[in-house]
Amino acid sequence: MRFLLASTLFAAACTSNPPAGGSDYESVRDRLSAGPTRLFVGGEGSTGSISARRWTQNGWLEGVTPVTIDSGELSAKVDSHGALVLDKLLVGLAPIEIPEDVFKKPAQLDDVKVTLTKPTSASAQWTSDDDATVTLPVALDFDWAIHVNGGKTPLATQHLPQIMLDVALTGAGDHIDASISLHAMGELWNWADLLEMTSLDLSLAAGTLD
């Protein structure tokens, strides 16, 4: 009898809990309000480009180079005042080829990543508890190394000027999707007045894993 009673109570306890992988959140807003939520950036659906110019015998030659998003992640939440807080953003890019005539040999930018340097927040515009947009001021660092003739040398971290980051959130309590876009302009990097990066554009697709 005791065994039967214990088995009955155990079964009742198991069925009262949500199944593995289930959600305790009613909406995107509810999930973000519960605390920081990690979203992961993938290459699928994410694009980017770098505008650069290089010095040639005939003067500056400008162009736009597409970049491939390798991976990334961000962490966001809704604070007690209803503002969206972004406290982490890291995006890694695939190596970027440098035209051979710059160094007279094959070269590329490697270990390229963009990192949020400090948390930022702004009021979000919610059209429903599962859909919101927000524009956040962000300070970003750009880290990389240059790979020439078989040797790799880390380059100094570039502190990008403050830019605005546009974020659109959608989904439900069990899954959040985010679309993120940024556009940085100016002389973002200069190498010996031979190679300059003048703009960076990223359009990122992110989502929770569960």
What is the residue extent of each domain of the chain?
Answer: 27-207
Which element (helix H / strand E) includes 55?
strand 47-56
Place of tokens 């736009």: 64
Q: What is the CA radius of gyration of the chain?
A: 23
Question: What gap in Å lies between CA 87 and CA 157, rounded to an integer?
Answer: 20
Question: What gap in Å lies between CA 53 and CA 100, rounded to an integer?
Answer: 13
Count of alpha carbons within 13 Å of 70, Cβ hemisphere only? Answer: 12
Question: Tens place of pLDDT for every residue, the chain, 210 residues?
Answer: 433 333 443 344 444 444 334 468 999 999 999 999 999 998 889 999 988 887 888 888 788 888 999 999 999 999 998 899 999 999 999 998 877 766 677 888 899 999 999 999 999 999 999 999 999 999 999 898 988 877 888 888 988 888 999 999 999 999 999 999 999 887 777 777 777 888 889 999 999 987
Query: Domain spanning 27-207 has what CATH number?
Result: 2.40.160.20
